[in-house]
Amino acid sequence: MAMTETLLEIKDLHGHYGDSHVLHGVNLKVEAGEIVTIVGRNGVGKTTTLRAIMGILDKRRGSIKVAGVETISSPPERIARLGVGYVPEERGIFASLNVADNLTLPPVVRPGGMSIEDIYTLFPNLRERGKSPGTKLSGGEQQMLAIGRVLRTGAPLLLLDEPTEGLAPAIVDSIGRAVVEMKQKGLTILLIEQNLRFATRLADRHYVMEGGRIVDMMARADVVAQASKLQSYLGV
């Protein structure tokens, strides 16, 4: 049996916003080709974990390895060059630039990223809005653009923060199909998602976070049997 590469490994990760201690020893790992979610109530440290991975959390300690390379002291630009693509909850698109310009702005960090045509095939809405500025896009189109932008960079590891938040069901389904296609192309995805139905349909494994710690992990095959336990964690 072929060995699986661990693309992301976090050990005893602590993180602070100023004097506020938010992450309290996070441990998790993501194997190449997996879709893994972090689920939990609001305010437990999920977004902070992604910010720490990406190097945009000022105070962090512990260990974060990307494809075996320690990055706990690395700046965001070096982490991006290691092949980590980040789609923040606020999407971060450039409102004054049109769709095509937004897609071509980030640098390519690895060969094999999607072409503009590939991205338009994945998200047909963006093809229709290619000349439209970011300010004219719907929330769903902005989310597609934010995801498409990192797909062009060739990053093999994608961090997606709440990609379906506030979106209409049809757009959520479109995002879901895109995530499945990303996995089929060999990408690895760490996903934060409040939409439990969306998350459980897509992910191979689910980490549960409470109080800045990982308190449980469930494989996809165990979700149905442990549904009540998972719902108790999430308060639903």
Q: How far is residue 87's CA from residue 158's CA, in Å, rounded to a whole number?
A: 8
pLDDT value of position 212: 97
Question: Which domains can be identified in the chain, with CATH numbers?
Answer: 6-234 (3.40.50.300)
Of 86, 82, 88, nearest to 65 (Cα)?
82
Q: Is the Cα torsion angle 159, 156, 217, 180 positive or negative in sign? A: positive
Residue range 150-174, pLDDT digits in tens: 999 999 999 999 999 999 999 999 9
> With the CA atoms of 157, 213, 232 and 37 taken in that order, what torsion angle do they form, in degrees rounded to the nearest 10?
0
Residue range 174-229, pLDDT digits in tens: 999 999 999 999 999 999 998 888 988 899 999 999 999 999 999 988 988 888 88
Residue 5 tokens, joined: 């590469």
Residue-wise DSSP of 44-65: SSHHHHHHHHHT--SEEEEEEE
- Identify the band that residue 1 occupies on the pLDDT scale cut at 50, 70 and 90: very low
Exposure string of 90-121, with b = 16+ CB inside 10 Å and e = fewer, is ebebeeeebbbebbeeeeebeeebbebeebbe
Q: How far is residue 110's CA from residue 154's CA, in Å, rounded to a whole number?
A: 5
Q: How far is residue 122's CA from residue 175's CA, in Å, rounded to a whole number?
A: 9
- Identify the band that residue 3 occupies on the pLDDT scale cut at 50, 70 and 90: low
pLDDT at 72 over 50: yes
- Identify the band that residue 2 occupies on the pLDDT scale cut at 50, 70 and 90: very low
